[in-house]
Structure 1
Amino acid sequence: MKTSLFDLFKVGVGPSSSHTMGPMRAARRFVVGLAESGTLERTGRVCAELFGSLALTGHGHGTDRAVLLGLSGEEPSTIDPESIGPKLGEIHSSHSILLASSKRVSFCEETDLVFHRDRMYPEGAKTQHPNGMRFSAFSPDGALLASEVYFSIGGGFIVSDAEGAGNATAMTTATLPFPFRSAAELLQMAAEKGLSIWDLMLENEAALRPREEVRSGILHIWSVMQDCIERGMKTEGILPGGLNVRRRAPRLAARLREKGSVDPLAPLDWVTVYAMAVNEENAAGGRVVTAPTNGAAGVVPAVARYYCDFVPGADEEGILRYFLTSAAIGVLYKENASISGAEVGCQGEVGVACSMAAGGLVAAMKGTNGQIEHAAEIAMEHNLGMTCDPIGGLVQIPCIERNAMASVKAVHACRIALHESEQHKVSLDQVIKTMYLTGLDMQSRYKETSLAGLALNVIEC
């Protein structure tokens, strides 16, 4: 186990964790490296090159904007969404960037931000991931001073080519009381110690930071998610990007309030509203939490809100159980498969989020460890093979509705697991392996390139 709950659940901005948050963090890291090496003062120009999926869907995902903001020193977790427009406007009008707020250099977006749509990987790179980017710094007379290749590997995680994709997180199993590498190992360890999955996960997190800090951190994440839901249910208008997609969450919420509780399926309708509210906020570039990615950001908060609003006896302890357990499930996917749509398709984003939420809901409702594992397995089993083919490279169609569908599916997976015995034919480890192998077999044009599927067959208008 190398991944913390706070690695999976990160506060940031939309529309994409791998195409917006990751490139922003990589650009900032490059500039910080220039400053630390003493190269920044000698820099007169910087250049950014995007490859693979970043190049093919970068404009729709806001990668160009993210790179400029990252070079300016902005961080996804702290940037004010309201400041993005003015900052980008200043860069465009001045044809320069104030690197990390300390050194102004020339920057022409037409020549210094290059989209290599015909090249999957940066030449010479040892790491093979379809979200590659190269940053270069030049002296005023054009001499190359520094160059670094980074990869955005899903969920906002980044690695340099020198590090390789296996070193995206800093946790070491040596510091943890209960390190686990598989669901089977997690269940066995919990059984031997007489612990629930959420208690075991809490002990691991408490080994890295004070226990109260873990609890307050989780509650802060939940607070940001709730704020996002509320904004999404109130904000009307057309989403940016050119598809003219109208926000639907406010109208759906208003209709449900008018109908009251007459409809027995109203709770599931509310789950749909919660998920769509979050993903409409994400599509608009608002403040969201990766769960485990931005493209799948609506599922975990929607199911958590369902628990709070419609499950009798729901309380804060249940929310803590929910997030600790869903994080444990997310860790298994992150470390044994992938949460990158560009690597394994949307099964690695929305599918993983559905699995996390299903297991987390069982935990919130005090189900057994076996029922948690079963619910997580059921949820992914019925997301296998899901492609990532966003129309226009925008995280809107089918992404927004897909989060709503997966949220309802997570509730159903939880209910099936709670009504069954703990014995089942397919294990969570088996379905995780299947998901990964399915993703590797999937043609690259169905993995966040907008070259096939809906992106190819639906006319943008």
Structure 2
Amino acid sequence: MLLSTVRAGLRMSSRRAQHCKTTTSHYSPSRRTISGSAATLYSSNALAVDQDRENNKLTETHHVKPEHAVISAFDLFSIGVGPSSSHTVGPMRAGKIFITDLDELRLLDRVKSVKVTLYGSLAATGKGHHTPQAILLGLEGSDPETIDCGTIPSRYDAILNNKSLHLGGKHRIHFDMDRDMLWRWDQVLKTHPNGMRFSCFDESGDLLATNEYFSVGGGFVVNDKTKVDENLFYKGVDKRVVHGARLHQTHQAEQGDPILGTPNEDDPGHPPYPFDSGNSLLALTRKHNLTISQIVHDNERYFGLSEQDIHEKLLRIWAVMDDCIRTGVSTTQKTLPGRLGLRRRAPMLYRRLMRGFYPGIGMPTPHLIGSGSLSAGSIDAPEDTETSQTAPPDEDDAGLTKSVRGGYRAPLVTGSFNHAILPVPPRKTMIPAVDFLSCYAIAVNEVNAAGGRIVTSPTNGAAGVIPAVLKYIIEFVSDDPEKSIKTFLLTAAAVGMLFKRGSTISAAEGGCQAEVGVACSMASAGFAACMGASPETVLQAAEIGIEHNLGLTCDPIDGLVQVPCIERNSLGAVKAITAAQLSMASDGVYRVTLDEAIEAMRLTATDMSVKYKETSLSGLATTVKIPLTVPAC
């Protein structure tokens, strides 16, 4: 039983319970390695200087976990809401799990009050990541995949104003945000930095039930009652009816060489093609003459999905991604929520791309954006506030300056003509691949930052990289879109599984290298696969994609998934295609393997200070000052 019920023998008032000792461990230097979904490495005082490295030396040998890396691709790619998979999607799922368990235990009707405590990174940046909204709506029974994103702000405001929470949509209780939600940013629970504790009390103030949940990245939730190495996942599935393999990743390899074994569909012990590393995945492709996407496809059958189910789910994932791009480029909203007052750029970028080289043509062509194509009038002309921040107010999108009479004249040139180095007049650059990739990625992440519907791929903070690259393939490369969609997503999923097992996909554990870095690696592999590259070249593309993101920190300004996150997705998408092209242009001799790069990422994450792991305690988060005159303050 996941929920710890406290029987009548345990009597305590709500006041005493609120001040009782908690089983927390302060941040302290640790030699524990980060592996998969459960690891901790935090310093006790987040504001203190890092401890002496001699007290935190790392082991040279990576501890090999006994379980395979295979999980469902549809647990890695899941439909949710922004702005964060670990701070929004995961907490919402945790809230719903807690209420569902209370209902199953027939305790829901006895609940009089609920206490929520947030720890570590969840507490440090939770407000900017909409963690309170996610938890409270999860406690009301909402799910990230089906919730109406447009109702989230109004429902949250109603909870705050009325001080009332409708548990599971069935039982209404009093809830005071200031009293019933506690923030422990300087403490961390022992399993993971993204920890939360839910407790409920009856009318007498006696503790009915309590549990701890950990949002480990990508929307995955781990329960503290489960052993760390079991990787218990909740990812939009009903644990009462789902195939056991989607809950437990402990189907260990049998004696001999099971990784290269012959698939046995009657054996429930593991998927037909289990792999635990890039090398074992390559060995499977060689032995069975299968591509990486075919390996992942056949493993999905083990999770109870038919071929038609897999086909429909993959196309559904892409449909949401594509719709997210379309929403991002067609929105009429000018700014993103939050104190930064950041202006949306995707609509302006898209208009410029559609205008091409002719300043008088400004509307988008209908065929370019997916199946639900945009009409000529579906995007309103942006106001001056939508232009580039570096452009003067009277400058037009094409770079021409409007004259007083309404015509156009050449832009002003900055610099002296009486100099040995003559100034260069402004000119419009046009690199279509880079421009479209940037536009697509920015569109997705602006939708995410606004709390819209997105696909976690593999996280929300990095949700723009994979859709941008896949959109580029479909629009400019592929002659069979459905085939490309399936090949790309399944190949990318295989790489994501390797990172989840061998390192982490949580910024709270590994910084942004675990999010945009992993997404870049996954997209590189997917692009190479769609270009017909061999499995060896595909994994080398993934290696190049992560190698040049190692050490990337996560220091979001004001705890918002906006700066540097949005632009970083744009660069990640461009870097993904560059990595794939480099791998395909090579001679097939590689010095660094994907497995070695994943291990390097794990060690880098272990060495990285907590201040750069989604806590907004250093970097850009502290050097950029937010003016108090911003209206959203």
TM value normalised by structure 1: 0.97
Note if 1:332 corresponds to 2:498. yes
| Whole-angstrom CA distance in 2 between matches of 1:421 and 1:212 | 38
| Contact 1:154–1:293 (8 Å) recurs in 2 | yes
The structure with the largest alpha-carbon Rg is 2
* Matching residue's letter, 2:547: E
| Contact 2:506–2:514 (8 Å) recurs in 1 | yes
Match of 1:231 among 306, 314, 327: 327
Moved beyond 6 Å, runs of 4+ = none
Higher share of residues assigned helix:
1
Partner of 1:31: 99
Identity of aligned residues (%): 47
| Contact 1:329–1:359 (8 Å) recurs in 2 | yes
Note if 1:22 corresponds to 2:90. yes
CA shift digits 1:411-439 (9 cap, x unpaired): 10011111112220000000001101100
Say which SS state the counterpart of residue 517 (structure 2) adopts: helix
CA shift digits 1:306-357 (9 cap, x unpaired): 1112215353212211011000000000111100000010000000000000
- Listed as ranges, the matches of 1:9-408 within 5 Å are 9-121=77-189, 127-166=190-229, 167-169=231-233, 170-171=245-246, 172=249, 173=251, 174-208=269-303, 209-235=305-331, 236-259=333-356, 265-311=431-477, 313-408=479-574
| Contact 1:307–1:314 (8 Å) recurs in 2 | no
Q: CA deviation at 1:41?
A: 1.4
* Matching residue's letter, 1:94: N
* Matching residue's letter, 1:55: A
Q: 1:312 to 1:9 in 2, by over 3 A?
A: closer
Q: 1:254 to 1:304 in 2, by over 3 A?
A: same
| Whole-angstrom CA distance in 2 between matches of 1:264 and 1:98 | 53
* Matching residue's letter, 1:45: S
Partner of 1:124: none
| Contact 2:70–2:276 (8 Å) recurs in 1 | no
Say which SS state the counterpart of residue 367 (structure 1) adopts: coil
| Whole-angstrom CA distance in 2 between matches of 1:21 and 1:314 | 33
| Whole-angstrom CA distance in 1 between matches of 2:208 and 2:191 | 25
Note if 1:411 corresponds to 2:474. no
Q: CA deviation at 1:47?
A: 0.8
* Matching residue's letter, 2:203: P
Say which SS state the counterpart of residue 127 (structure 2) adopts: helix
Q: CA deviation at 1:26?
A: 0.6
The gaps in structure 1 that reach 5 residues or longer are 122-126
| Contact 1:130–1:343 (8 Å) recurs in 2 | yes
Say which SS state the counterpart of residue 459 (structure 2) adopts: coil
Greater shift in the superposed pair: 202-211 or 281-290: 202-211
* Matching residue's letter, 2:546: M
| Contact 1:44–1:139 (8 Å) recurs in 2 | yes
| Whole-angstrom CA distance in 1 between matches of 2:468 and 2:357 | 19
Say which SS state the counterpart of residue 406 (structure 1) adopts: helix
Say which SS state the counterpart of residue 48 (structure 1) adopts: strand
Q: CA deviation at 1:214?
A: 0.4
| Contact 2:522–2:542 (8 Å) recurs in 1 | yes
Say which SS state the counterpart of residue 126 (structure 2) adopts: helix
Partner of 2:625: 459
| Matched pairs, number | 456
| Contact 1:318–1:365 (8 Å) recurs in 2 | no
| Whole-angstrom CA distance in 2 between matches of 1:291 and 1:310 | 22
| Contact 1:48–1:133 (8 Å) recurs in 2 | yes
Greater shift in the superposed pair: 255-264 or 79-88: 255-264
* Matching residue's letter, 2:315: L
| Contact 1:347–1:435 (8 Å) recurs in 2 | yes
CA shift digits 1:233-253 (9 cap, x unpaired): 011311001110000010011
Match of 2:599 among 428, 433, 446: 433
Q: CA deviation at 1:263?
A: 6.1
Q: CA deviation at 1:165?
A: 4.0
Say which SS state the counterpart of residue 374 (structure 1) adopts: helix
Partner of 2:404: none
Say which SS state the counterpart of residue 182 (structure 2) adopts: strand
Partner of 1:442: 608
CA shift digits 1:265-306 (9 cap, x unpaired): 112111000000000000000000000000000000000011
Give the RMSD, CA atoms, in angstroms: 1.4
